[in-house]
Amino acid sequence: MSTNRPFFAARIEDALTRLVGRLVRNLGWRERVIGYISYGSPAFVRILCRVVLSPDPRKHGQLAEALLNRRGWRNFITAPAEFAPIEVRIGDTTWQGRSGRGGFVDVRLAHRGLTPGWHRAMIRPTGGDEVEVPLLIIDPTDDFGIVSDIDDTVISTSLPRPLLAAWNTFVLHETARQSVPGMAELYRRLLADHPGSPIFYLSTGAWNVAPTLVRFLKHHRFPLGPLLLTDWGPTNTGWFRSGREHKERMLARLAEEFPNVAWLLVGDDGQHDPSIYGGFAQANPDRVRAIAIRQLTPGEQVLAHGTPVGLEDPPVAGDTPEVRGPDGAALGRALGARVAEHA
C-alpha cells in the first residue's frame, strides 16, 4: 500500500527535533548559522549552510563561545532550527527563505554579475547574527576541475570502516589526523597549472564535520574548495542515505552546472570510487579528463571492507585514462602529461 507519509524513523526524528527545539528555546537559545563553502558561476549561486539553535552569547557568555567553537563529538550535539526564516545577502541582492529538515539550507539562486574568484555571501537568521559564508564563483569557460574523495584519499585512516567515521568525528582532533602523503602537493601543482580551476571535495561524511574538515584542509595546505557532504540519519524513505547515490548525484549535478569542465576524479580503491567514477566516465566520456585511484595497502583494505585486496570494479570504458598509485607522488608521476593531453 503506497503512502506519502515519511518513513517512521524520520517521523520520530522530526518529533524529537521539535521537542528539543522547544526546550532549548525556553532556555533562551536562538538561531545561528553554520556556513559552508558555497559556489556558483556568473549566472547562479548555490548557497550551503545550516541553521541551529545555540545559547545567546549576549546572555550566556563563555558557555556560548565554547559551544560556537566546539570540535569533535560536540559537533553532533546540536539542536537544528528547522524551517527557520533566513536572509541571504550577496552584494545588493537579498533572498529570503527558510531552512529545511535538519536545519539545512541548500538553495540555488539566479544571480548575475559576480566575477570568477572568491566572494562572500552574508546569511542572517531572524533575530540572529549575520554570518559570512565563502562563495567560489567558477569561470564558465574553465575546462578543468578536480573532484576528490576525502577518507583514504585526503585523510589517511587506520580504523575499521564502521568505526572510522565515529572516531574521526567524535574523538580525534583535526591536527592529529594524518594527510595522505603527496596529495596536497599534487592538488596544489595541478591547480597552479590551471589557474582559477575549482576543486570539490566529495564525501559521504556528515555535514556536521564540515568545519573540522575545513580546518584539516587548511592545516595540511590543501587547496580550499566546496565540500559536498551528506546528512546522517533517517530519510523520508529509509534508515540511511546511500553514499553511492549521493556521489553519483553530485557528479551529475556538477556536470550539468559546469558543462565545459572535464574533471579529474580522485578517489581510492577501498570502497566504490573506481566503479562510481568509471560509470560516470562511461556516461560522460567528454566530461572526465582522467581518473586517479589511490591504492590502499593490504592492511588498509582489510580495515576498509574486510579483505586484503581492493574491491573488484569494472574497467573504465572508452579512452578515459585511469592511473593508480599508493600516494600523491606516485599518482602525479602516473598522470604525467595525461591531464594536458586529454584537454
pLDDT digits (tens, 9 = 90+) for 262-285: 999 999 988 789 999 999 999 999
* 24: in domain: yes
* 3: in domain: no
Q: How far, in Å, CA of 212 to CA of 174, rounded? A: 6
Q: Based on the domain organization, do 95 and 212 belong to the same domain?
A: no
Q: Based on the domain organization, do 56 and 176 belong to the same domain?
A: no
Q: Based on the domain organization, do 209 and 327 belong to the same domain?
A: yes
Residue 213's alpha-carbon distances to 202, 217, 241, in angstroms, are: 12, 6, 20
* pLDDT attached to residue 3: 41
**Last residue in a domain, options 137, 165, 186:** 137
* pLDDT attached to residue 19: 64
* pLDDT attached to residue 313: 60
Q: Based on the domain organization, do 14 and 47 belong to the same domain?
A: yes
* pLDDT attached to residue 319: 77
Quote the domain boundaries for residue 283. 144-341
Q: Based on the domain organization, do 212 and 282 belong to the same domain?
A: yes
Q: Based on the domain organization, do 29 and 153 belong to the same domain?
A: no
CATH number for the domain spanning 201: value is 3.40.50.1000
Average pLDDT along the chain = 81
Q: Based on the domain organization, do 148 and 87 belong to the same domain?
A: no
Q: Based on the domain organization, do 27 and 51 belong to the same domain?
A: yes
Strand ranges (E), the chain:
30-35, 38-41, 44-54, 79-80, 85-90, 93-98, 104-110, 117-125, 131-137, 144-148, 155-156, 178-179, 199-206, 227-230, 262-268, 288-294, 322-325
* pLDDT attached to residue 74: 44
The list of the chain residues with pLDDT below 70 reads 1-22, 24-26, 28, 56-78, 157-177, 232-242, 297-318, 337-343
* 2: in domain: no
The domain tally of the chain equals 2
Q: Based on the domain organization, do 256 and 207 belong to the same domain?
A: yes
| Amino acid at position 229, single letter | L
* pLDDT attached to residue 178: 84
Q: Tell me, what DSSP letter sits at residue 158?
A: -
Q: Based on the domain organization, do 60 and 180 belong to the same domain?
A: no
* 56: in domain: yes
CATH number for the domain spanning 13: value is 2.60.40.10
**Last residue in a domain, options 137, 172, 205:** 137
* 319: in domain: yes
* 1: in domain: no
Q: Based on the domain organization, do 87 and 167 belong to the same domain?
A: no
| Amino acid at position 133, single letter | V
Of all helices (H) and strands (E), which one includes residue 216?
Answer: helix 210-219
226-268, pLDDT tens digit by residue?
Answer: 999 987 654 444 444 567 899 999 999 999 999 999 999 999 9
* 274: in domain: yes
Q: Based on the domain organization, do 299 and 182 belong to the same domain?
A: yes
**Last residue in a domain, options 98, 122, 137:** 137
* 106: in domain: yes
